[in-house]
Structure 1
Amino acid sequence: MAAEPSREEISQFVERFAGVLANSGVPTMSARVMGAMLVSPTGVMTAAELADLLKISQPAVSGAVRQLLQVAFITRERLPGSRKDHYRIRDDVFAAILERRNLALSEWEATSRSGVALFGEDSPVGRRLTEAADFFAFIHGDMSQMIKNWRAEHPR
């Protein structure tokens, strides 16, 4: 069994994890909050706990939490006897992230196909846009199937 990580090791991991998420398009503060919640023993934290762990202000936590709530990566709840909001990371948060990315692929495909109609399928631009649209459609189909397979093997 591994030794319990120190607060400094936890902080370094959270920042490293957040950096990876931020590099893939997740807003930095939201990525940090997700990282902190992910390593929380319960997956549930208050805004004050997040601010303390991440060494950031309450308004910074509030903005990140608001964004994560809007995209349904976390939920807000009240625990019995508590007047504070508690935030819980969604059990299937990574599948949810990929679902959102997969929706973007559909939009990229549709936009590319509208460009084909605009420029003509036999033009150099039309051929490039057709290839792009076909690629997005291919990846979208595979991603959809992978998410279905994941959920079938890992029901909530």
Structure 2
Amino acid sequence: MGDRQEQWEAAERLALTLVEGGLQRMAARTLAVFLFTDQDSVTAGEIAARLEASAGAVSGAVKSLLSVGLIERLPAPGSRREHYRLRDDAWARLFTSQNTAFQAMLQAARTGIETTAEHDPAHRRLTQMRDFYEFMLGEIPAMLDRWHRHRQPG
């Protein structure tokens, strides 16, 4: 296995990939800390130290990751600092939270359809968009159910 320096280099490469995929830079780097840490939980201060980033930047990234359900806040008796960890079901939870984005896209397509005439090429394109998002929203629950069954041992 590689040493810690190689792991953190891999973490930074992963963060760059996440940024290219649309995640904000600090949220991507913070997520990489959660993925590559050897600790059960981390504090915002530990993240800031690891990333050599400001407390404010890390705070915003942590809030972002909390809001989409990738990380969770842990009770830390005896500690004055908040502790966080990557959720066990982070990826399925993230995909589920994307339903909000899918719903927004679906609604945007429906609104566009209402404003265009049936023979208009925009109407056709918006109808395809609506149909795609309706299909995806219909498929997500069954796919996540299959994922959960796939993960169950035995």
Q: TM-score, normalised by structure 1?
A: 0.85
AA partner of residue 87 (structure 2):
R
2:123 is the counterpart of 1:126: yes
AA partner of residue 19 (structure 1):
L
Q: Is the 8 A contact 1:37 1:43 kept in 2?
A: no
Name 2:17's counterpart in structure 1.
20
Name 1:76's counterpart in structure 2.
73
1:12 is displaced (CA, Å) by 1.1
Q: 1:18–1:43: structure 2 CA closer, same or farther, 3 Å change rule?
A: farther
Aligned residue for 2:119, secondary structure, equals coil
RMSD between aligned alpha carbons? Answer: 1.9
Name 1:138's counterpart in structure 2.
135
Query: Percentage identity across aligned positions?
Result: 36
- Structure 2: which 5+ residue stretches go unaligned? none
* 1:1-156 equivalent positions in 2, closer than 5 A: 3=1, 5-154=2-151
**Bigger CA drift: 89-98 or 69-78?**
69-78
1:98 is displaced (CA, Å) by 1.2
1:59 is displaced (CA, Å) by 2.1
1:97 is displaced (CA, Å) by 1.5
Pairs aligned (count): 152
Q: Is the 8 A contact 2:27 2:65 kept in 1?
A: yes
> In structure 2, how many angstroms separate the alpha carbons of the residues matched to 1:30 and 1:43?
19
Q: Is the 8 A contact 1:76 1:85 kept in 2?
A: yes
**Bigger CA drift: 109-118 or 135-144?**
135-144
Q: TM-score, normalised by structure 2?
A: 0.86
AA partner of residue 97 (structure 1):
L
Aligned residue for 2:22, secondary structure, equals coil
1:143 is displaced (CA, Å) by 2.9
- Structure 1: which 5+ residue stretches go unaligned? none
1:43 is displaced (CA, Å) by 4.2
Aligned residue for 1:26, secondary structure, equals coil
1:119 is displaced (CA, Å) by 0.4
